[in-house]
Structure 1
Amino acid sequence: MPEAIEHYRIEDEESFADFLYALNDYAPRAANLLHLLRQQPMDVAVQAELMRLFHTIKGDAGLCRLYFVEPLVHAVEDILARIKSGELLFGAALEQVVLLAVDRLELLIAELDSGRAVALRDFNQLTEALHPLGQLPPAQVDEAAWQLVKQLTGFVPQGQAGQQSVATPAQQADLDFFHSLGLQFEQRSALFQGRTERNLILAMACNRVAGMPIDSLQLEAAVYVHDVGMMFLPQELWLRQGRMSEDERVQLAAHPGWAADLLARMPGWDMAARIVREHHERPDGRGYPAGKPGGLICDGAKLLAIIDTFEAVILKHGQRQQARSLLRAVAEVNASEAQFDPKWIACFNQVVRELMQQGDALPHVR
């Protein structure tokens, strides 16, 4: 392998925009073809189409001077060549590895679209980890692939469970109302199916793993209400993929405040209001609406930020008419770890690991 590039900033805006536009088509096509190949591993037509697609991605990356992309795609091509030759059988492990590689490429290209110089260390490490899969003896490939999946999804044990608050009749009535608001938002699109229950399961389990530092009733209220403000925005803005205009960003940044103000006007829900108001803030101070640094963001908001990002990935899969993959969503959250508090990422990962080990499923996610 040639020496890896450590940092990259867009050199040619026009050619980068072309690659970004093309990748928005290539990525879902790759996912759909991998799904087809998983169902029919010996289908030579699907194998050939996948090979052509990744060859096109590599070629486009070279033309657009995104040279750091080429080694990763080359590693995927080596794996596909072994499958096409009959040396390897395409199974679940290789499917997940290639999907995660495509997801990581999409994330990196989206980060570069911000215009900042981006560190490529994690991306290069993934490329290095992929290359042995094109060379290992066939009997060792699946185990190595699953080890790479584990590395990308980062399962780390954390903490012990504490005690859960018990709602008074008045609090339960409020929670029932908040729940109804969450379900109203969920019913606005078939793509939101199951989101309220998914978010609650993950948030409560993460809080339990962390030792219950967040009041469970306040967290439950925040989960139900945090996106209710989206109902005051145009529906096309909720489901927008790709770059937004500055006016659209301003509109979107208002939605946490609307939901937080609703909670703040109801006695006893001050912490829930704060969680909702801060859940789009980031530890590096680049979040919204106030640009607070990590030390000023409450634990509940740090946790809800992770849950909300997980849900955004699930929504993206639905928009692309792909199966909603728990494993891929977790990997994408971990790839964006600079946006989140490491303590809560560790809790989130442990919860997902427990769900997978126990065979439990989140609603409408495989």
Structure 2
Amino acid sequence: MSSIDLNRPDDFQRDSIDDFFEDFREAYENCETILIDLEHKPDNQDLLNGLFRVVHTIKGNLGFIGLFSLIPLLQSLEDVLDDIRKGHMAYDSALCDVILQSLDRTKGIVNAKIENQQGPLSPQKISYISAHLTQLTSIDEDARALCIKHILLGLDPTSRLEDLPQEVSAGPVAAVTNTGPAAAPAAEDPLLVWRRMLQLYGIPQDEDTMFFVGLVQSIESRSEQWQGRTARQLFLCLEMNRQAGNKVDKDQLAIAVMLHDLGMAFLPRTLFNEQMQADPTQLSLWKRHAEHCASLLASSPRWQEAAAIIWQHHENVDGSGFPDGLEGNDISDGAKILRIADEFDARPQEHNDPAIARRHMMKAVLDINNQSGKVFDTFWIDIFNQVIRAHHQHFAR
């Protein structure tokens, strides 16, 4: 699923955007109800958890309409809500204003993109607001009140960035969010999309990671149908892992997802999507693509787990997979996650017509569920279903 072009949506894309707004309106109304109740019960854990889930769902859905540049704002807001529900900070009416205005601006930016107009917040102001939100839990009460005022000023579309207070210190958050003018076209530039995705899940963007990101560009350039698949699979794998409490090292999982089909880049293009029609010699060549990549990655002591995930990502829990015919617990959790994501992403691609692919999305989910306990691990199928339910409108592409 490549990012939706919000400036020139076709009928299918318009349906996806409409789905987003339907979800958004429902989430916004739910949020308003929760915020009203929180005014009377600010310590209610169920309400705080519900508010956190609403913001998390909106944040995830933004990725599926290509607005990765907005994700840092929602991620920072989600982090604040997480600290509130964990008792690290008290909820109050000022935070209520911050939440409502953040969602208002989110809606305004999506509308502006659809109409090809300037949005209410520039990328630089989004970075400013996100950085201030991140500081809320690390400062005292007096400073927090002032910081919230600065956030609300930043959320005001009429305010100018140069007139806003600039107390946020340079640090890890500022370094991540202050991406400058070049970050504006994040939705169009695949490199920035991947970097936003890594940032979203807290994957360090060090020398190794950025080298691997560069390789991804070469992989996706080999086939038009592959363009956008890395972001899709990264989201599904990392979100499944997060839903399960990060059972797999997220850094290792991210690298495995990005590189698992690196070996495919060296195969004939006819083998990319037509393995079932390949002759035995070609099929044998295709089956070795994971081994080639895993062997290369295994030469680095740092990425042994990622290499194992790649090596095993075509294994089936009943032992019918390859290259080693592993079963059940002999297969790593990372490989089990990637096995599901790889299969789910490939199924809708069987149809070039997006409308057909959209109608067959649920069939793909059902087909995968029918192989639970055979091809796919039952625990991870349950997690997969939870993620699909949370984001189903935007998996239907």
TM-score normalised to the size of structure 1?
0.50
TM-score normalised to the size of structure 2?
0.46
Q: Which has the higher contact order (CA 8 A, sep 6+)?
A: 1
